[in-house]
């Protein structure tokens, strides 16, 4: 089992370009697994973890409803945003500047073959990271992601998640609001959930800007511990 993960920080990158790149890495791992099975080989599969920040974009998952996007094509253009229907689970979400997006592209055969556990570990990584900033965050029953004040009228989501998996290979991932412009969430029904707010780390801490490089370091530290992995 290969528990080494190739870490790449892509900086600011267009969503579609990043999606295509993810698909390329994802297919490479799948092809190795299929060839191993067909030819009775034991070639090691790679694992990747991509950090990226996207320009303003809305993405709709396989189970999502287009009615959850509250903008016309013309209004999208006016806001400098793009829109894509994509092949992850979940409904609609927003990505943009000030948000840390993470795409683990893992062969779970190298770790554990349990998608439920995989999602819970991603959530736990976020929960542990935000605890270092003094925030008590938690899961909301039946709603993937990480929240504050669950079960109260003030429930608000700080991290969205949506993944795709095939033959235990994962892609897509999480989007943590760190210094996000929350106004862009007003143009959708986030994750198809009405009546619940969205928040950002800088808002919760009452500061203008949080150091995103520090947040990434903390995320990787907890990911490494949870998955018993190493980064290269």
173 appears as a binding residue in the annotation: yes
31 appears as a binding residue in the annotation: no
Per domain, the residue ranges of the chain are 4-231
Q: Which of 25, 122, 191, 198 is catalytic?
A: 191
CA dist 166 and 22 (Å) reads 13
Can you give the pLDDT at residue 65?
85
Model confidence, pTM: 0.95
* 159 is an active site residue: no
Domain 4-231 has CATH 3.60.15.10: no
1 appears as a binding residue in the annotation: no
- Please answer whether residues 158 and 178 qualify as being in contact, where contact means their C-beta atoms are separated by less than 8 angstroms: no
Can you give the pLDDT at residue 196?
72
CA–centroid distance for 229 within its chain: 18
In the chain, which residues have pLDDT < 70? Answer: 190-195
Alpha carbon separation from 120 to 71, 130, 134, 146, 179 (Å, rounded): 32, 15, 21, 10, 24
Distance in angstroms between the alpha carbons of the first and the last residue of the chain = 16
- Nearest partner of 100 among 204, 33, 200, judged by Cα: 200
188 appears as a binding residue in the annotation: no
**Strands ordered across the beta sheet of 92-95:** 82-85, 57-60, 92-95
Can you give the pLDDT at residue 159?
97
- Please answer whether residues 57 and 17 qualify as being in contact, where contact means their C-beta atoms are separated by less than 8 angstroms: no
């Amino acid at each position: 089992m290969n528990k080494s993960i190739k870490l790449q920080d892509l900086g600011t990158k267009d969503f579609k370009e990043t999606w295509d790149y993810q698909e390329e890495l994802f297919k490479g791992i799948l092809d190795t697994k299929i060839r191993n099975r067909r030819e009775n080989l034991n070639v090691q599969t790679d694992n990747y973890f991509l950090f990226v920040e996207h320009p303003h974009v809305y993405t709709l998952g396989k189970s999502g409803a287009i009615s959850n996007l509250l903008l016309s094509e013309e209004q999208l253009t006016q806001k400098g945003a793009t829109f894509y229907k994509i092949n992850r689970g979940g409904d609609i979400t927003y990505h943009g500047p000030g948000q840390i997006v993470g795409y683990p592209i893992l062969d779970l055969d190298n770790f554990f073959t349990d998608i439920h556990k995989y999602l819970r570990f991603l959530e736990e990584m976020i929960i542990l990271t935000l605890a270092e900033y003094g925030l008590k965050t938690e899961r909301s029953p039946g709603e993937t992601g990480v929240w504050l004040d669950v079960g109260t009228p003030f429930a608000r989501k700080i991290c969205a998640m949506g993944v795709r998996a095939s033959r235990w290979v994962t892609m897509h991932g999480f989007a943590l609001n760190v210094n996000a412009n929350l106004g862009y969430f007003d143009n959708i029904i986030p994750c198809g959930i009405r009546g619940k707010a969205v928040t950002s780390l800088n808002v919760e801490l009452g500061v203008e800007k949080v150091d995103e490089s520090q947040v990434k370091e903390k995320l990787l530290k907890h990911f490494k511990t949870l998955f018993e992995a190493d980064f290269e």
